[in-house]
Chains A and B, each alone.
Chain A
Amino acid sequence: MAEDVVLDVEDLSVSFVSPQGIVPAAREVSFEVRRGETLAMVGESGSGKSVTSLAILRLTPPAPQCRIEGRVRLRAGDRRVHDLLALPEARMRELRGSAAAMVFQEPMTSLNPVHKIGDQIAEAVRFHSALSKRGALDRAAELLDLVGIPDVRRRMSSYPHQLSGGMRQRVMIAIALSCEPVLLIADEPTTALDVTIQAQILELLHDLQQRTQMALLFITHNLGVVAEIADRVIVMYAGRVVEEAAVLPLFKRPLMPYTQGLLRSVPRLDLAGRRCDELAAIPGNVPDPLALPPGCSFAPRCAHRVPELCDGRVPLLEGAGAQHFVRCARWASLAEGAPP
């Protein structure tokens, strides 16, 4: 594990036990996030991105219901490397909220309705530091100021329902940052917000990252957000990583037909009025995780499918240039056929 790697995920698989059988939600997912870097994880609903992020902090349901395999290593602030999936629960709890923190998608429901904002932030501080109750509340006020909440004194004793969605998400970020984590996982933090508020929250996260040099794992299905915030991108489909690249190469020269489809389905102002007034949608639906095709999971929806090549076995994640990886049996021939 290189010195500047904060999070190293190797072959992480998460599956749920259901009455219909074992449902694989994420399969052999591997990636790294470095200090000060933003890695965006992109995919449709059900692609396994949220489950992967929850599994890193072991926040998925407990053992008999949910199985996690693979290895997740985290380099904490003191440079010590922790093997998260092997830690006893008590040690894991010490790291959660301190070395690695998380911001969730739904700011409206992610805060406890019956506790004051200040207390909810101070609670996280108190369990990871030696601060007194008074000291923890002072720190909470400091954090509220840091995330740009005006009138901090009054807001400390507000309840969540008295705040707007954007303000609540700022509070969630304040909670996550309370112990200066080396890794912040943000699971669709802007999806539930208005577009103008989205931009503010993204800017806030970006500023905070510049200041603290934390590693940011940003989960989203919004490619516009990816372009704005990410350094590198991994694209998930049906529980697997299907493409990984730095953000510019990915947008300029996507290799996996699924990524290409995703990019084509984004509305673009510069193309308006030209021949493609209608948005291109990817035909079909995400496959049922209980009945995945034996070969490439995307093959049934793919325009470039060649049965002999695509349906036999799952393609490997192959290197396709500097730091660019793609899981497609035909990527090379497709790249040749199309001008770059």
Chain B
Amino acid sequence: MGSFLARRVGQAGVLLLIVSIIGFSILHLAPGGPLSQFAATGDMTQEDLDRVARQMGLDRPLPVQYAEWLWRLLQGDWGVSYRDKQPVLRVIGSHLGATLELMLSSTLLAMMIGCWIGVLGAIRRYSVFDTLATVGAMIALSIPTFWFGLVVIYVFSVGLGWLPAGNRYTIGDGSWSDRLHHLIGPCIVLALVSTAVWSRYMRSSMLDVINQDYIRTARSKGIPERRILFQHAVRNALLPMITIAGLHLPTLLSGALVTETVFTWPGMGRLFLDSIGYRDYPTVMGILMFTAMLVLLGSLLADLLYGVADPRIRTA
């Protein structure tokens, strides 16, 4: 177990290094820069711009800039945001709560509904319900998130006036019910696609399990069908879902980029987008590294959880 963890951490270190090099290169090679907005206004001369660039250290060769950024990161210094002169970690921290709230609620919603649809579809294969669920999943998967977000706002906020059109809470309110009310729209939009994904995976996993010999054994024991379903079938069908949940963690973060923008949700996705627009290099790199760590953590967590849930792996 100890060597397993050490190996995984070592692999993660190498991966993070590669991610940081690629991210840094692409970010700096993209046209424009933190100074282009000053240049656009025309108030500053080329000399002024050069002086600011020198002060910010942007005039040095890229490898030098990267080395310095990496050296500081290794010492725990994530840098300071160009935009609001706050430490990057604090900027990320102040947006994390909103994303986590949205992420957790929509994931839980999608998992619960998706798994149920999958189980029911598998045990009543080719029934009307199964057919509708299959078609529904295909539609949900092909709807663009931004479009569906706008439709939800148009129907439920503009048309019916049931839901707020954006933000995390009403300024000056911020009560639980108010926050929940704001959460409904983006949560549904974010959950739609993942519900479809979960239901498909769960259906095929369940179909796999209900044809296994041990399900026939359970039937031959004369135990009730409901118990066979939950104690024997679903319990086994959920095992592969752990891996999918681990892989889903980062997908949800990138999905939140669009949804958070549409619903002006003050989370990580929007922070990332805004920071790119501003060419706020330290913040963008910070979020990039943070997300990459989450990806690695997600798959590590899935592997560890798998060991807990599956006795065959536990003792191996």
| Chain A residues close to B by CB (< 8 Å) | 57, 59, 93-98, 101-102, 104, 106, 109-115, 123-124, 127-128, 159, 161-162, 172, 175-176
- Verify B214–A97 contact, CB threshold 8 A: no
Name the residue on B nearest A126 (C-beta): B223
B308 to nearest A CB, angstroms?
A: 11
Query: How far, in whole Å, are A109 and B218 apart by their CA atoms in the complex?
Result: 12
A323 to nearest B CB, angstroms?
A: 30
19 contacts between A and B (CB under 8 A): A59-B216, A59-B220, A93-B223, A95-B222, A96-B222, A101-B221, A104-B213, A106-B213, A111-B214, A112-B217, A112-B218, A114-B235, A124-B221, A159-B311, A159-B315, A161-B315, A162-B315, A172-B217, A175-B221
Across the interface, which residues of B come within 8 angstroms of A113, CB to CB?
214, 236, 310-312
Q: Per-residue CB proximity of B193-224 to A under 8 Å, as 1/0?
A: 00000000000000000001110111111111
B248 within 8 A of A: no
Chain B at the A interface: SS class: helix
Apart from A98-B222, A114-B311, 14 more pairs, CB < 8 Å: A94-B222, A96-B221, A101-B221, A104-B213, A104-B220, A106-B213, A109-B212, A112-B236, A115-B232, A123-B223, A124-B222, A159-B312, A159-B315, A161-B312
- Verify B310–A114 contact, CB threshold 8 A: yes
Query: How far, in whole Å, are A101 and B219 apart by their CA atoms in the complex?
Result: 10
- Verify B312–A127 contact, CB threshold 8 A: no
Question: Chain B interface residue count: which class?
Answer: 20 to 34
B315 to nearest A CB, angstroms?
A: 7
A324 to nearest B CB, angstroms?
A: 33
Name the residue on B nearest A97 (C-beta): B222
Q: Among A109, A114, A127, A176, find the residue whose CB has the most chain B CB atoms closer than 10 A.
A: A114
B131 to nearest A CB, angstroms?
A: 16
Query: How far, in whole Å, are A111 and B216 apart by their CA atoms in the complex?
Result: 10
| Chain B residues close to A by CB (< 8 Å) | 212-214, 216-224, 231-232, 235-236, 239, 309-312, 315
- Verify B235–A124 contact, CB threshold 8 A: no
Across the interface, which residues of B come within 8 angstroms of A114, CB to CB?
235-236, 239, 309-311
B314 to nearest A CB, angstroms?
A: 8
Partner of B223, one of A97, A101, A110, A111: A97
Query: How far, in whole Å, are A19 and B309 apart by their CA atoms in the complex?
Result: 39
Partner of B219, one of A59, A94, A106, A111: A59
Across the interface, which residues of B come within 8 angstroms of A106, CB to CB?
213
Query: How far, in whole Å, are A309 and B107 apart by their CA atoms in the complex?
Result: 71
Name the residue on B nearest A57 (C-beta): B220
Query: How far, in whole Å, are A115 and B236 apart by their CA atoms in the complex?
Result: 10
Partner of A123, one of B213, B221, B236, B310: B221
Query: How far, in whole Å, are A127 and B231 apart by their CA atoms in the complex?
Result: 14
A250 to nearest B CB, angstroms?
A: 29
Name the residue on B nearest A93 (C-beta): B222
B237 to nearest A CB, angstroms?
A: 11
Query: How far, in whole Å, are A109 and B239 apart by their CA atoms in the complex?
Result: 17
- Verify B220–A97 contact, CB threshold 8 A: yes
Query: How far, in whole Å, are A253 and B212 apart by their CA atoms in the complex?
Result: 41
Given the contacts A112-B232, A162-B315, A127 and B223 also touching, CB distance less than 8 Å: yes
A87 to nearest B CB, angstroms?
A: 12
Query: How far, in whole Å, are A124 and B221 apart by their CA atoms in the complex?
Result: 5
Name the residue on A nearest B209 (C-beta): A112
- Verify B216–A110 contact, CB threshold 8 A: yes
Across the interface, which residues of B come within 8 angstroms of A176, CB to CB?
220
